[in-house]
Amino acid sequence: MNNAGNSPGIYPDPIGRGLGGMKIALIGYGKMGKTIEAIALERGHTVDLKIDIDSKGDLTKENLLLCDVAIEFTGPHSAKENILSCLHAGIPVVSGSTGWLEDWDEVANYCKEKMAAFICQQF
């Protein structure tokens, strides 16, 4: 059971549509992105936006607003820009990218100013 007391994989919708899976934006659709997608689908979530190197232009506010959360697994060359794009759209983002922490303060300050949700475990 999850923390909502519902069946596994069924989560309260954060924007009030009722119970159901999360709509996920995957930013970075390499090996890790594909693994995350498989797990998400298995748990009843949907992947409504997939961004890879060839579809970077699809990372727009309009497309992000179709999702509940973004999971970002790219690299140091684009992580900060991707994270800020999500935060600017008001979409919570979880990042597993490494090598970009010289930009940490900028992202952290944005989150403090805008009360934005951001999780990063790569220290």
Please answer whether residues 1 and 8 qualify as being in contact, where contact means their C-beta atoms are separated by less than 8 angstroms: yes
Q: What is the pLDDT along the chain (123 residues), one digit of tens a residue?
A: 333 444 445 555 554 545 568 999 999 999 999 999 999 999 999 999 999 999 999 999 999 999 999 999 999 999 999 999 999 999 999 999 889 889 988 988 888 888 776 666 654
Q: 28 phi and psi, to 5 degrees?
A: 105, 100
Domains and CATH numbers, the chain: 21-120 (3.40.50.720)
What is the pLDDT at residue 37?
96
CA distance 86 to 64: 7
What is the pLDDT at residue 120?
65
What is the pLDDT at residue 65?
96
Nearest-CA neighbor of 74 among 100, 35, 113, 105?
A: 100
